[in-house]
Structure 1
Amino acid sequence: MTTPSIQKEICNCFAEEVLKKIFEELGDDVFSILVDESRDISKKEQMVVVLRYVNKLEFVKERFIGLVHVKETTALSLKFAIDELFARYNLSLGRVSGQGYGGANNMFGEFNGLKTLILKENSLAYFVRCFAHQLQIIVVALANKHLEICRFLKKYQI
């Protein structure tokens, strides 16, 4: 039970059970997808996918459903990875009512972005830019221009 391969298998079993409960709670309702991409510490590209939906008690839920390693972070490769993830869990892009991403052009580019590729399949999958990402950009820009803000953020390790 302590070998890495056994521990990984146990974690995968737990993950599948959690995902099964998430999809039961979601049922056949619509949902939004939140996607972000980045490089991990070993310089491999990865994409995280979160579903956002309203449950039967009318609470908004955000549930992590996958971290997918991708060869590159072009809009086409991210779309392909989403299609594969959705196929694995029997989800449909037709049920997507919204999509949210950070500020990268590959995500929300007007002609070739992931947003546009999904809108071609589902014109009701409205796009909302990630406000947390916008806030981070603003804070970094302010910290770079104002020494007092930079000192404050460093002092309180924000």
Structure 2
Amino acid sequence: MRYVDKVGQVIKRFINIKYVTSTNSVTLKAAIEDILAKHSLSIHRIRGQGYDGASNMRGEFHGLKALILNDNPQVFYVHYFAHQLQLCLIVVTKNH
């Protein structure tokens, strides 16, 4: 999580790891909402989200991105390109 405190400093915090039985977008959204609720936070206060290119994350109609945008149309989405770099490195290292 990243937020701006009362003095204007950007603070980054790791808040939780949660085991999920499924990686479909509905289950992931429920897990996020549960984590936010435990910290007295709301999905309506999210301003940005970033995921890799998996369809369950970025799907235009049923992906996690879309489900969060349905609840909060002001949230920005940024594609997480570091995941693509990781996939490229894995392919290169397997060939050498």
Question: Partner residue of 1:78?
Answer: 28
Distance 1:58 1:113, change over 3 A: same
| Partner in structure 1 of residue 62 of structure 2 | 112
Q: How does 1:40-55 map to 2 (within 5 A)?
A: 51-55=1-5
Q: Which amino acid aligns with 2:59?
A: G
| Number of matched pairs | 96
2:87 is equivalent to residue 137 of structure 1: yes
- TM-fit CA distance, 1:144: 6.0
Tell me if 1:87 matches 2:37. Answer: yes
Deviation of residue 91 (structure 1)?
0.5
Identify unmatched segments of 5+ residues in structure 2: none
Q: Give the 5 Å matches for 1:1-158.
A: 51-141=1-91, 143=92, 150=96
1:79 alignment partner, SS class? helix
Cα distance between partner residues in 2 of 1:134 and 1:61? 26
Q: CA RMSD in A?
A: 2.0
- Give the gaps of 5 or more residues in structure 1: 1-50, 151-158
* Equivalent residue letter for 1:81: A
For normalisation by structure 2, the TM-score amounts to: 0.84
Determine the C-alpha separation between the residues in 1 that align with 2:86 and 2:44.
Answer: 32
* TM-score using structure 1 length: 0.54
Identify which range, 54-63 or 81-90, moves more after superposition: 54-63
- Alpha-carbon distance in structure 1 between the residues aligned to 2:47 and 2:73: 9
Distance change (3 Å), C-alpha of 1:136 and 1:94 = same
Question: Larger strand proportion, structure 1 or 2?
Answer: 1
Identity of aligned residues (%): 46
